A and B are shown apart, each in its own frame.
Chain A
Amino acid sequence: MICALVDNLFDLYLDGRLVESQARWIKSHLASCPTCAAKLAAWQKILRQLRTFPAQPAPPSFKADLKAALLNDKNAESTTDISVNLDLTPVRVPSFSLALGFLAFMLFVSGSVFGPGIPSQSSSGNATSVCVADPIPTGRPK
């Protein structure tokens, strides 16, 4: 039972992502359980191999083929000017959209300041306000 629990925590233990008390608990278990210690050692060996996984060199014609493919694609899409595209400038903020948004906001604000406003914002306080409807219709028979 404890071994299964420790087994689940191996990764976090090796990555140093456990709190100190958990790490200490696992360490003490490993000291007393040769099976778990062997499993951890085997996994450490695999992780070491992964970390030192050899980088594969590219085939000799790789760069030439890549260049040919990129240029080919460029020719196919002759409307796209790659030299402009590769000028890696920052993304510009669309100022027109911002101006339009600002204008819409100002219209909305001016509508609430100068216009009649929505009924719930009416501060006239008189009985004709749409919010204070007469609960008893006047033509009601008594």
Chain B
Amino acid sequence: MESTAAIDRLIETHSEKAYVTAYRLTGNQADACDLVQETFLRIIKKAELYDPAFDFGGWLHRILFRVYLNGRRSKERRREISLEPVTGNETDGTEHKSDPDESPEKIMENNELRDRISEALDTLAPDMRACVVLVDIEGCSYEQAAEALGWPVGSVSGRIFRARRILRNILRQTEGEQT
């Protein structure tokens, strides 16, 4: 009974934030749910390794990224996903939130750019995507990202550099195709 209450507390406190990050990493709802589930199972099994001197959310975040990278490395699910046909708006249920003060044209332009960024992110290798999610989307410093991923800062900055280069090239190309 006590364990059920502990699981409830764990889910209530951390699952939504974990889902947001998982979605940013995987780019689709089904994989994000799987990733969160796998992470929580790992947390329950490895709970005795948690050091209360550190923030629990940070520990969970680190495990989430490790599970993502290990899972991607072993299964190469990314390739399978990119081959799936994308149908209409069902792409991951992406919601476009925008500033109400912006003009409709501006909102549409931003939404299009967001879609193109989202597609470009899907082409990145998992390690690069993890770095972009941490640094460019979640706003972590290189040092914080390195800590979360368990890599040296140089590895993170190298991957960020290459990932941004890829994103820029892809977005430049798609922009050229559109104009």
Is the pair B171, A82 in contact by a Cβ cutoff of 8 Å? no
Q: B7 to chain A: which residues have CB within 8 Å?
A: 67, 70-71, 74, 82, 86
Selected contact of A58 from candidates B15, B50, B160, B167, CB within 8 Å: B15
Residue A81 at the chain B interface, CB threshold 8 Å: yes
Task: Please give, as numbers and ranges, the residues of chain A lying within 8 Å of B32 by CB-CB distance.
Answer: 56
A91 at the interface (CB under 8 A from B): yes
A90 at interface (Cβ–Cβ under 8 A)?
A: yes
Assess whether A91 is in contact with B51, with CB atoms less than 8 Å apart. Answer: yes
Contact of A62 among B19, B47, B51, B167 (CB under 8 A): B19
**Complex contacts, A63 vs chain B, CB 8 Å:** 11-12, 15
In the complex, what's the smallest C-beta–C-beta distance from A51 to chain B, in angstroms? 6
Give Cα A81–Cα B49 distance, bound, in whole angstroms. 15
| A residues less than 8 Å from B139 (CB atoms) | 51
Interface size class of B (residues with CB under 8 A): 35 or more
Contact with B along A34-70 (1 / 0, CB 8 A): 0000000011011101110111111100110111011
- Minimum Cβ distance to chain B for residue A26 (Å): 16
Q: Given the known A-B contacts A70-B7, A81-B3, are A46 and B161 also in contact in the complex, defined by CB atoms under 8 Å?
A: no
Instruction: Say yes or no for A73: interface residue by CB 8 A criterion.
Output: yes
Which of the candidate stretches B34-42, B62-70, B73-81, B82-90 sits at the interface with the other chain? B34-42
Given A59-B29, A70-B7, A50-B117 contact (CB < 8 Å):
yes
Given A51-B137, A90-B53; A56-B48 close (CB under 8 Å): no
A120 sits at the interface (CB 8 A): no
A65 to B30, CA, bound (A): 12
Residue of A11, A47, A57, A66 most packed against chain B (CB within 10 A): A66
Q: How far is the CB of B175 from chain A (nearest CB, A)?
A: 8
Residues of A that sit less than 8 Å from B by CB: 11, 15, 42-43, 45-47, 49-51, 53-59, 62-63, 65-67, 69-71, 73-74, 80-83, 85-91
A11 touches B161 (CB 8 A): yes
A82 to B110, CA, bound (A): 46
Residues of B close to A70: CB separation below 8 A: 7, 11, 37, 40-41, 44
- Say yes or no: B19 contacts A53, CB within 8 Å: no
Binary interface encoding of chain B residues 1-43 relative to chain A, with 1 for a CB under 8 A from any of its CBs, else 0 = 0111011101110011001100110000100110011001100
Which B residues are in CB contact (< 8 Å) with A62?
A: 15, 19, 33, 36
30 contacts between A and B (CB under 8 A): A11-B160, A11-B164, A42-B172, A43-B164, A46-B117, A47-B136, A49-B110, A50-B117, A50-B132, A51-B136, A54-B94, A54-B95, A55-B20, A55-B23, A56-B29, A56-B32, A56-B93, A62-B15, A62-B36, A63-B12, A67-B11, A74-B44, A82-B6, A83-B2, A85-B44, A86-B3, A87-B47, A89-B48, A90-B51, A91-B48
